[in-house]
């Protein structure tokens, strides 16, 4: 319901989930508001909004993110900071190897909500002009690059190995190896064969193996946070019943670019939002299969689902708006020229659907078909229009005229709440309470009143008596009837 309402708004709004202290376990209120408005109330009413989550919409372009934690008493001596550092370096290497994207700790927002019993981090990668097609593809990428650690867990379980907690020793050795590699690189000679061998040994990812509360081997990273419409806890928020909110970790190296009129703290908040991404200039990363050689950099994902294969994370072959897909498909099919949708991208922050078109290259800018470069159809769901852009370098900054979407596929409707729906309002103190309107008796409609009049025996008797009286003594004025009715009530 919240998602539908957000899509119907002309303003740029997003969906957030809110936990209440006294609510039933697992119950959440869903808020629809803008980033700036949420930040305003976030600062003004921290107690009311201290358990808040970003809803990552299905199919939305998003940042690479990790949810990391381990139970401290079960992993005594484990150096969480060192494990995080090693993981960041490893992920940056894989991004470079697979996608050619150069990044470092300075591109990673490192948030901490650790307690005495639990080490807990969120990592959000703010990549230079790149993002993932959606969080399903993020999950496939993360699962694939962490496969060596998963294999080791399976192997140890299969062999009945009882491994002791060695996280601190492994981390210390690995950090030393990282330092040696960096020193060698700085000296200009590159990594020595010995360092390279250590690097290969390092790739079993043993440093990511932790113990859970039951003493069983586990992974330093939750692979269950890459599902559609996922709720991801916000910066400065804690879980309900807990007092550990996410703050900037002391070993964080990411510093957002300052923006006029936006405080440093708000900049951190905006950077932490997984789906806060613009359509302009983004390289879209996809993951097809388990082999890195088949990973792709594209402007979207194949509508036919060629990028999507069965695995631990399920995906979809069409966009979240199949009716719009069908309309765009018809737009690019003109008589003998049968264009099709090659890929699509959904930018939830701007409510844009971007379609990469194949076999149809008509460009409004040049007034003809391009010989080699393809076009894009951009659908603005908020404004309910579509327009054409181009991959041709000469038309890179061109945008065609806007054309209205057919009314039948628009989302321009007002969401009406039934009596059963729970409507929450915020009072002046920032508290969320159920609307008192729900407790008030609903006034019957004119139609309902008319039906009740006709079906009620007393009313029929009153009508017959009135007719008899007027026949014998003359017509009674409407004003007198209303006065009499008011006195009876």
| pLDDT tens sequence across 51-63 | 999 999 999 999 9
- pLDDT of amino acid 403: 94
Residue labelled with tokens 């002046």: 428
* Final residue in a domain of this structure, among 409, 424, 445: 409
Token pair for residue 276? 């806060």
Q: Which residue has the higher pLDDT, 399 or 422?
A: 399
Residues 61 and 191 in one domain: yes
Most confident region among 98-107, 204-213, 280-289, 433-442 by mean pLDDT: 98-107
Mean pLDDT over 327-353 rounds to 90
Distance separating alpha carbons of residues 390 and 368, to the nearest angstrom: 12
Residues 197 and 261 in one domain: yes
Within a domain: residue 43? no
> What confidence tens digit (pLDDT) does each residue in 200-214 have?
444 678 899 999 888
Q: Are 65 and 59 in contact (CB under 8 A)?
A: no
Residues 376 and 467 in one domain: no
Residues 78 and 202 in one domain: yes
Distance separating alpha carbons of residues 406 and 385, to the nearest angstrom: 9
Q: Which residue has the higher pLDDT, 310 or 224?
A: 224
Task: State the virtual CA torsion across 94, 96, 102, 108 in degrees, nearest 10.
Answer: -10
Distance separating alpha carbons of residues 166 and 163, to the nearest angstrom: 8
Residues 239 and 366 in one domain: no
Distance separating alpha carbons of residues 263 and 444, to the nearest angstrom: 51
- pLDDT of amino acid 302: 32
* Final residue in a domain of this structure, among 409, 442, 471: 409
Distance separating alpha carbons of residues 83 and 220, to the nearest angstrom: 9
- pLDDT of amino acid 105: 96
Residues 466 and 380 in one domain: no
The pLDDT of residue 4 is above 50: yes
Residues 267 and 333 in one domain: no
Beta strand spans in 90-158 (E): 108-112, 118-125, 130-132
Query: Which domain covers residue 468, as residue numbers?
Result: 455-488
3-state DSSP assignment of residue 261: coil
Distance separating alpha carbons of residues 94 and 92, to the nearest angstrom: 5
Token pair for residue 153? 């867990």
Within a domain: residue 424? no
3-state DSSP assignment of residue 217: strand
Helices marked H in 205-318: 264-272
Eight-class DSSP state of 440: S
Mean pLDDT over 421-436 rounds to 67
The pLDDT of residue 145 is above 80: yes
Residues 146 and 79 in one domain: yes
Mean pLDDT over 453-457 rounds to 46
Residues 63 and 195 in one domain: yes
Question: Strand 375-380 and strand 368-369: pairing?
Answer: unpaired
Pick the closest to residue 326 from 391, 408, 388, 411 (CA basis).
408
Most confident region among 12-26, 303-317, 448-462 by mean pLDDT: 12-26
Pick the closest to residue 234 from 85, 124, 83, 119 (CA basis).
124
Mean pLDDT over 172-191 rounds to 42
Within a domain: residue 1? no
> What confidence tens digit (pLDDT) does each residue in 8-42 have?
888 899 999 998 877 777 788 999 999 999 999 98
Distance separating alpha carbons of residues 364 and 451, to the nearest angstrom: 58
Residues 111 and 186 in one domain: yes
Distance separating alpha carbons of residues 73 and 54, to the nearest angstrom: 30
Q: What are phi and psi of 137, to 5 degrees?
A: -70, -35
Mean pLDDT over 130-143 rounds to 96
3-state DSSP assignment of residue 321: coil
Mean pLDDT over 135-148 rounds to 95
Within a domain: residue 24? no
The pLDDT of residue 186 is above 90: no
Pick the closest to residue 401 from 378, 382, 381 (CA basis).
378
Q: Based on DSSP, count helices (H) and strands (E) in the chain, helices before strands.
A: 12, 25
- pLDDT of amino acid 34: 94
Tell me the angle at which helices 80-99 and 135-145 cross, rounded to the nearest 10 degrees.
110
Most confident region among 14-28, 351-365, 461-475 by mean pLDDT: 351-365
Residue labelled with tokens 């940042």: 63
- pLDDT of amino acid 466: 62
Within a domain: residue 305? no
Q: What are phi and psi of 439, to 5 degrees?
A: -85, -10
Distance separating alpha carbons of residues 70 and 211, to the nearest angstrom: 7
Eight-class DSSP state of 25: T
The pLDDT of residue 158 is above 80: no
Query: What percent of the chain has a predicted confidence (pLDDT) above 90?
Result: 45
The pLDDT of residue 347 is above 90: yes
Residues 66 and 122 in one domain: yes
Q: Which residue has the higher pLDDT, 413 or 114?
A: 114
- pLDDT of amino acid 336: 81
Distance separating alpha carbons of residues 210 and 196, to the nearest angstrom: 25
Within a domain: residue 468? yes
Q: Are 117 and 243 in contact (CB under 8 A)?
A: no
Q: Which residue has the higher pLDDT, 288 or 261?
A: 261
Domains identified in the chain, total number:
3
Q: How many CA atoms lie within 13 A of 419 on its CB side?
A: 5
Q: Are 362 and 368 in contact (CB under 8 A)?
A: yes
- pLDDT of amino acid 476: 64
Handedness of CA 19, 23, 27, 32 (dihedral sign): negative
Within a domain: residue 7? no
Task: Please tell me the pTM assigned to this model.
Answer: 0.75
Contacts of 400 (CB under 8 A, 6+ apart): 364, 365, 387, 388, 389
Q: Are 170 and 206 in contact (CB under 8 A)?
A: yes
Residues 56 and 165 in one domain: yes
Token pair for residue 87? 């993981």
Alpha carbon 237 to its chain centroid, in Å, reads 17
Within a domain: residue 86? yes
- pLDDT of amino acid 304: 32
* Final residue in a domain of this structure, among 272, 290, 305: 272
Distance separating alpha carbons of residues 114 and 187, to the nearest angstrom: 37
Distance separating alpha carbons of residues 171 and 194, to the nearest angstrom: 19
């Amino acid at each position: 319901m919240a998602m539908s309402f957000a899509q119907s708004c002309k303003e740029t709004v997003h969906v957030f989930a809110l936990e209440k202290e006294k609510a039933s376990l697992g119950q959440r209120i869903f808020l629809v508001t803008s980033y700036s408005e949420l930040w305003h109330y976030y600062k003004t009413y921290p107690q009311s909004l201290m358990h808040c989550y970003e809803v990552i919409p299905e199919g939305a372009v998003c940042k690479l993110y990790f949810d990391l934690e381990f139970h401290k008493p079960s992993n005594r001596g484990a150096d969480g900071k060192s494990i995080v550092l090693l993981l960041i370096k490893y992920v940056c290497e894989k991004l470079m190897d697979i996608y050619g994207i150069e990044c470092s700790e300075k591109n990673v927002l490192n948030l901490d909500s650790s307690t005495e019993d639990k080490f807990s981090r969120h990592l959000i990668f703010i990549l230079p002009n790149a993002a993932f097609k959606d969080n399903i593809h993020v999950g496939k990428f993360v699962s694939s690059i962490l496969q060596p650690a998963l294999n080791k867990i399976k192997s140890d379980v299969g062999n009945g190995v009882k491994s002791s907690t060695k996280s601190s020793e492994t981390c210390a050795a690995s950090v030393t190896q990282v330092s040696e590699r960096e020193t060698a690189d700085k000296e200009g000679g590159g990594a020595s064969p010995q360092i390279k061998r250590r690097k290969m040994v390092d790739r079993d990812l043993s440093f990511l193996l932790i113990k859970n509360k039951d003493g069983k081997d586990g992974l330093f990273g939750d692979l269950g946070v890459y599902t559609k419409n996922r709720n991801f806890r916000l910066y400065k928020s804690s879980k309900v019943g807990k007092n550990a909110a996410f703050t900037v970790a002391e070993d964080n190296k990411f510093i957002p670019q300052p923006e006029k009129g936006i405080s440093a703290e708000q900049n951190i908040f905006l950077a932490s939002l997984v789906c806060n991404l613009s359509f302009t200039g983004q390289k879209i990363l996809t993951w097809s299969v388990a082999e890195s050689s088949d990973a792709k950099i594209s402007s979207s994902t194949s509508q036919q689902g060629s990028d999507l294969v069965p695995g631990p994370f399920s995906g979809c072959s069409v966009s979240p708006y199949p009716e719009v897909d069908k309309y765009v498909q018809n737009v690019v099919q003109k008589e003998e020229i049968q264009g099709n949708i090659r890929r699509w991208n959904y930018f939830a922050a701007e409510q844009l659907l971007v379609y990469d078109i194949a076999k149809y290259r008509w460009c409004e800018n040049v007034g003809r078909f391009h010989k080699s470069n393809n076009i894009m159809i951009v659908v603005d769901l908020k404004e309910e229009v579509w327009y054409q852009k181009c991959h041709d370098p000469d038309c890179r900054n061109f945008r065609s005229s806007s054309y209205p979407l057919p009314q039948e596929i628009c989302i321009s409707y007002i969401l009406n709440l039934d009596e059963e729906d729970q409507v929450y309002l915020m009072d002046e103190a920032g508290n969320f309470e159920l609307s008192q309107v729900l407790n008030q008796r609903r006034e019957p409609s004119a139609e309902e009143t008319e039906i009740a009049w006709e079906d009620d025996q007393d009313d029929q008797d009153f009508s017959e008596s009135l007719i008899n009286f007027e026949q014998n003594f003359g017509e009674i004025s409407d004003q007198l009837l209303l006065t009499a009715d008011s006195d009876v009530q």
